[in-house]
Amino acid sequence: MISHCEFRPAVVVIGGSGGIGRAIASVAARERGAVVLVARSPEGLAAAASEVREGGGEAFTLELDLVAGDAPTRLEGFLSAHGLVCDVLVNSAGYGLRGAATALPIDGQLGIIDLNIHSLTELTLHFLPGMVARRRGGVLNLSSVAGFVPGPYMALYFASKGFVRFFSEALHQELRRTGVTVTCVAPGPVSTEFLARSGANQTVLFNILPKVDPEYVAERAWRGFKSGRRLVVPGISAKLAALAAALLPSAAMLPLVGRLQRGGNDQCPCGSGMKFKKCCGTRQIQLRRGPRGIIP
Ligand SMILES: NC(=O)c1ccc[n+]([C@@H]2O[C@H](COP(=O)([O-])OP(=O)(O)OC[C@H]3O[C@@H](n4cnc5c(N)ncnc54)[C@H](OP(=O)(O)O)[C@@H]3O)[C@@H](O)[C@H]2O)c1
């Protein structure tokens, strides 16, 4: 049995098999400590583990579906069995769905709450008290520029990222002077599989904002966390998007984001089953052109 003082600190990357999580794991590996990669796909985990080893770190992998229940207990058991303790928790697992909330499957939308909100919150609350007791380490949570505004046609995703930002920033304040940091990272579009999986690559919004590489986000996120930052918004276009969201009133921002997020081939939110542009899209144009050009 390993005595408590023999436990070694580990960086635990949730969503470490791909995208931003995998890139953060590679950056963390340069510190030559233990890096625990958690995700579902064994191939992705194996590839990420060899990158961690090439970078000088010691890699551990855990195949785990975070929404299947008891994830913190299973992760805690894995860490203990390997003589590790969660020193830094990186919450990078997340997904989104694009489309009208009334047209998208309810289960898929609730799954966003389960992963992006419930799982992230549960893991954060599970591991933070130990960090505070040891007076070191912290949590790096992945939000998004989507966390700065409500997002019509990706309503659940934007709302989930708003939650992550508010939750993380509040914890950052609560934990000042404890030796523990909570950092929120809010990137704009990043070139990962997320964009195609979520359908965000079909929106004007995600296409007008320049994409950055996951490695770029990882470098800035890790540096920001290490220097105790509350919020990291990597890249100039993400910073401008966050600034616009802060300055523009909701009455202007909501229709703008809605227009940039909607695709002409999307199902109409009215539930007709028709394409938006052949249904309410046409009606809106007719209404806008109403008698003597007056908008009713
Ligand atoms: N890409 C962007 O444009 C962008 C922009 C802003 C913010 N973000 C946020 O950044 C985070 C990372 O995004 P990404 O671009 O790296 O996405 P990604 O390439 O799709 O990677 C997502 C990671 O989460 C893991 N994952 C997903 N569902 C899981 C589950 N149920 N249980 C365990 N692991 C799960 C995936 O691994 P498995 O599939 O192997 O389980 C993968 O490792 C997300 O929270 C996302 O919302 C992304």
In the chain, % of residues over pLDDT 90? 81
Does position 242 have pLDDT exceeding 60, yes or no?
yes
Binning pLDDT at 50, 70 and 90, where does residue 284 land? Answer: low
| Nearest-atom index, ligand 1, CA of 211 | 3
- The per-residue pLDDT for 166 is 98
* Greater pLDDT, 4 or 244: 244
Catalytically active residues are 157
| Nearest-atom index, ligand 1, CA of 145 | 6
21, 30, 43 from 26: Cα distances, Å = 9, 7, 16
| Nearest-atom index, ligand 1, CA of 200 | 3
Options 2.40.110.10, 3.40.50.720, 3.30.70.100, 3.40.50.2300; CATH for 4-263 is 3.40.50.720
Binning pLDDT at 50, 70 and 90, where does residue 291 land? Answer: very low
pTM of the model: 0.92
- Closest of 10, 97, 20 to residue 61, by C-alpha: 10
Give me ligand 1 centre to Cα 195, in Å: 10
Which of 142, 149, 158, 261 maximizes ligand 1 atoms within 8 Å of its Cβ, making it the mutation to test the pocket?
A: 142
Does position 267 have pLDDT exceeding 90, yes or no?
no
Give me ligand 1 centre to Cα 89, in Å: 15
Identify the residue whose C-alpha is closest to ligand 1 atom 16.
19
8, 98, 151, 260 from 11: Cα distances, Å = 10, 32, 32, 37
Q: DSSP string of 92-135?
A: -------S-TTTS-HHHHHHHIIIIIIIHHHHHHHHHHHHHHHT
pLDDT in tens, 161-202: 999 999 999 999 999 999 999 999 999 999 999 999 999 988
Ligand 1 environment, Cβ below 6 A: 15, 17-21, 39-41, 44, 64-67, 92-95, 115, 142, 144, 187, 189-190, 192-195, 197
Q: How far is CA 262 from the centre of its chain?
A: 21
- Residue ranges, CATH 3.40.50.720, the chain: 4-263
Identify the residue whose C-alpha is closest to ligand 1 atom 8.
144
Q: DSSP string of 33-47?
A: SEEEEEES-HHHHHH
- The per-residue pLDDT for 276 is 72
